[in-house]
Amino acid sequence: MAAEQLIVPDFDTYPVTHALEEAWVIDGGVKLRWDDGLESRLPVLWLREFSPDISTFHAITREQMIKLTEIPADLIASEATIAQDGFLSVLWEPESLSSRYHPGWLRAHIPDTPDAIFALPERQLWRDADHKKATWFDGNAVREGRHGVFKEWVEAIHIHGVGLLRGLPAEPAIIPEIPDLIGPVRTTNFGSIYEVINRPDANSNAFTAIALAAHTDLATREYVPGLQFLFCLVNDVVGGNSILADGFSIAEQLKQESAEFYEVLSTVAIPFGTKDKNSDYRYTAPVLEHDCEGKLSALRYTYWLRSPMSGSFDTITTFYAAFRRLQEIANDPANQIDFRLNPGEMMAFDNRRILHGRAAFDPASGKRLLRGCYGEREDLESCLRILNRKERKRAATSRHTASSE
């Protein structure tokens, strides 16, 4: 069956970094040899499921249409050859389906050693005074979508956890205009946009004039917002300097000091809860969260939104010792940057990594008004991948190489 073929089963562009030299049918799959000597073995269902034909993938959405159960249980690759144009051709039986695989797509996905073309840059911890990477960017260049500056800002938030903007007009519309360039605003019980101002009916410590030690927001949520944007509209009070610290670096410092404390904060689930007249969010989880590879992925660190924990006397005692030490490290000025956020300036940061806070201010001395909203880390990552994808497409177009579109 010669089903109509897509070039690749998605919307990306794949540079051909290596050519295929040989293909063989093997028991249970297909084996390939590349021009750099790399050999890869591809299991039958892995390869068949991604056959880029329009009976397998929807021609418009490029999402899979088939279920694994629609593929014959006795499926085999009966032929595997390298076509003149460098594509891998496979004949599947008993379907009698011919599939063609783009060598760039294959190399980007081969199971054991894929080319890391979708990989985002590694996060970098703030390690010392010279590496507190809260970099200022030209806010208007970001606002106008000047590609180079916009991408640098987005990358800074990903790599260093923070990207600061200056020079914007001190207008309310900047929030959500700038966050929308990355992705949708995350609405919470504080609304889609909130104003950080001292007010008599405060339903958060943030809406008072007291000092806020370094913290993350909304640890009470099952899925804690991954980004926060705080934009200064007015700031003429005495006091109120902003604080930022790298929670991942602080956690690493704790780990170096005490593997036991790190383990306690990574495994002992503690209860977080809102104190609000109209909402009652509660979530129980460790302070330090890790991804499926065991890497630290988030801190739950809204220290004033904790509820009394339950557990054994010893566990609670050990937890408090560990958490106290984490707070000491987090509040060490050597681990923080401290600056005044002025009108027209914005802090954009990873709310599951970067701790933020402020000094107390005198509300009688003037006005301090920030306008803020939340976003998601995954939207930042998607934004960055799309920027990278566009660069791949531009490079492919200039080289006249194969593109998915």
* Summary count for the chain: helices (H), strands (E): 9, 22
* Sole binder of Fe ion in the list 12, 53, 95, 217 (CB under 5 A): 217
CA distances from 377 to 37, 65, 83, 192 (A): 38, 29, 41, 16
Stretch of 20-28, 96-104, 210-218, 259-267 lying at the interface with Fe ion (CB under 5 A): 210-218
* Minimal distance, residue 389 CB to Fe ion, in Å: 33
CB closer to Fe ion, 150 vs 194: 194
Q: Which stretch binds Fe ion (CB under 5 A): 41-49, 131-139, 217-225, 283-291?
A: 217-225
Indicate the residue among 40 and 235 with the shorter CB distance to Fe ion. Answer: 235
Structure tokens at 233: 């509209």
Q: Tell me how many residues contact Fe ion (CB under 5 A).
A: 1
CA distances from 24 to 1, 80, 90, 330, 336 (A): 21, 6, 10, 57, 57
Phi, psi of 261 (to 5 degrees): -60, -45
**Span of 82-90, 155-163, 211-219, 361-369 interacting with Fe ion by CB under 5 A:** 211-219
DSSP string, 13-73: -----S-EEEEEEETTEEEEEETTS-EEEEEHHHHHHT--BTTTB-TTT--B---GGGS-T
Q: How far is the CB of 37 from Fe ion (least distance, A)?
A: 53
The residue among 12 and 376 lying less far from Fe ion, judged by its C-beta, is 376
Query: Which is nearer to Fe ion, 9 or 179 (by Cβ)?
Result: 179
Q: Which is nearer to Fe ion, 187 or 310 (CB)?
A: 187
CB of 302 to Fe ion, least distance (A): 7
Q: How far is the CB of 213 from Fe ion (least distance, A)?
A: 10
Q: At what angle do helices 259-267 and 313-330 cross, to 10 degrees?
A: 110
Which part of the chain contacts Fe ion (CB under 5 A), choosing from 104-112, 133-141, 213-221, 239-247? 213-221
CB of 356 to Fe ion, least distance (A): 6
Chain positions 327 to 356 lying near Fe ion, rule: CB under 5 A, are none
Closest to Fe ion by CB, 46 vs 339, is 339
In contact, 88 and 80? CB cutoff 8 Å: yes
Backbone dihedral region for residue 248 (phi beyond 0: left; psi -120 to 50: alpha; all else: beta):
alpha
Q: Candidates 145-153, 181-189, 209-217, 363-371 — which segment interacts with Fe ion by CB under 5 A?
A: 209-217
For residue 230, with 0-12 CB atoms within 10 Å meaning exposed, 13-18 middle and 19 or more buried, which class applies?
Answer: buried
CB of 164 to Fe ion, least distance (A): 16
Nearest C-alpha neighbor of 175 from the set 374, 24, 392: 374
The residue (of 11 and 304) whose beta carbon lies closer to Fe ion is 304
The residue nearest Fe ion at its CB is 217
**Given the complex with Fe ion, which of 57 and 303 has the nearer CB atom?**
303
Residues that bind Fe ion (CB under 5 A): 217
